[in-house]
Amino acid sequence: MSTGANPSPAAASMLVHVVDGARKPLTAADLLIRLLDGNQKQVHSSFPKSPTILFRDLPFADNLADNYTVIASARGYLQAGFSPVRISPKVLQTVSLMLLPREGQFNFHQARWETLQATDPRLAGLLARGAPNQTAARDRYTQLMEDRPGTLAGLLNLFTAMASIALPVGSPVDYFKELIWDSSMTEDRFFAWADQALVDQVKLAAAQGVFKPEIGSGFFHPGATSSYKQVQFGEANVQLTFHESQRATIDGVDCIQVEPDIDYYRDPGAHTLLEVLPNFATGGKTDPRVVYALRWIAGRRAGVPEFNPPYTIEAV
């Protein structure tokens, strides 16, 4: 779909793409797209016939008014948006948004135990460690999927996000040795034993601007000795908190305890807008569904490979 024609020299273009919680083009008939300029003046509002929309001839002022906000909504879905999108006649800006179903549920078809053995042996191997045998590992994992699906979704979010982080050597998941399967495994974080070399790797990555150290980590994470937050995206960055006083030897490797989690926003000037963030607003646990959407949107905006944990969120 195109809007406008014959762009003037003082005009810009923008391509907007909208998907659902299954990471597929949204098929809602009542999809509404609104564009606001930096002065919060509505520049465009329409119900496009396609989830991929090319906007042409957007007013370009060469000032703060060019910091656009894109908002998408549809009946039965949570609203999503992105801001700021700096338009320019020289660059076609692309914005991808994900609308989650209001009444959605986790679909773990891609995360079944047998499937993970073939598609992601590194994840499957980590999930199995510490169990007496494969049958016990499978049963432990299946029980988590059935009884605490949100916790499994949070774990899969974190593993997928960490696997994409480039350290000087490998990624964070390459240093994980064993998950801690107790009540500390929740929807927003888990604890694990990791090769103590991970601490130095993250410090080196921080020196290269990949992470930023968190001041006062022990206050927010009792017992923590240090904590580092990824700063690649505006939203849904991984935070790695180390508890170096907690130590164990696993497979002959000296390990320390690590606590990964994902915060919604890097800073108060959040880029991505979601309509309903009840847990965030009340100070509760981070919702893995919100993280799923934020991380996907932020990744697409940054032009990195798609965030694709082995599950989807689909309408009931």
Q: CA-based angle 255:244:193, to the nearest 5?
A: 35
Position 267 scores a pLDDT of 67
Position 281 scores a pLDDT of 42
Give one DSSP letter per residue of 215-263, joined into a string. TTHHHHSTT-SEEEEE-SSSB--EEEEEEEEEEEEETTEEEEEEEEEE-
pTM across the whole model: 0.91
Determine whether 295 is exposed, middle or buried from the number of CB atoms within 10 Å of its CB (0-12, 13-18, 19+).
buried
98-136 tens-digit pLDDT: 999 999 999 999 999 999 999 999 999 999 999 999 999
Cβ atoms of 86 and 95 within 8 Å: the answer is: no
40-78 tens-digit pLDDT: 999 999 999 999 999 999 999 999 999 999 999 999 999
* Strand-strand pairing, 312-315 and 67-73: unpaired
Q: Tokens 């899969």 sit at which residue?
A: 156
Kindly report which listed range (95-104, 107-116, 219-228, 249-258) carries the lowest average pLDDT score: 219-228
Inter-axis angle of helices 149-163 and 288-302, nearest 10: 20
Q: Amino acid identity, residue 172?
A: P
- Distance between CA atoms of residues 245 and 160, nearest Å: 27
Position 263 scores a pLDDT of 84
Position 272 scores a pLDDT of 60
Across the strands, what pairs with 25? 19
Q: What would you report as the CA-atom Rg of the chain, rounded to the nearest whole angstrom?
A: 21
- Distance between CA atoms of residues 4 and 13, nearest Å: 10
153-166 tens-digit pLDDT: 999 999 999 999 99
Position 299 scores a pLDDT of 94
In the chain, domain spans = 2-99, 104-315
Position 210 scores a pLDDT of 96
Q: Is 132 helix (H, G, I), strand (E, B) or coil?
A: coil
Q: How confident is the model at residue 220 (pLDDT cuts 50, 70, 90)?
A: confident
Which H/E stretch holds residue 142? helix 134-147
Taking the domain 2-99, which CATH number applies?
2.60.130.10
Integer angstrom CA distances of residue 264 from 12, 239, 259, 273 = 30, 11, 16, 11
Q: What is the DSSP letter of 39?
A: T
Position 86 scores a pLDDT of 96
- Distance between CA atoms of residues 83 and 69, nearest Å: 5
Q: How confident is the model at residue 301 (pLDDT cuts 50, 70, 90)?
A: very high
Mean pLDDT taken over the chain? 91
Cis before 84? omega within 30: yes
Q: CA-based angle 68:74:77, to the nearest 5?
A: 105
| Other beta carbons less than 10 A from residue 161's beta carbon | 24
- Distance between CA atoms of residues 65 and 208, nearest Å: 33
192-219 tens-digit pLDDT: 999 999 999 999 999 999 999 998 888 7
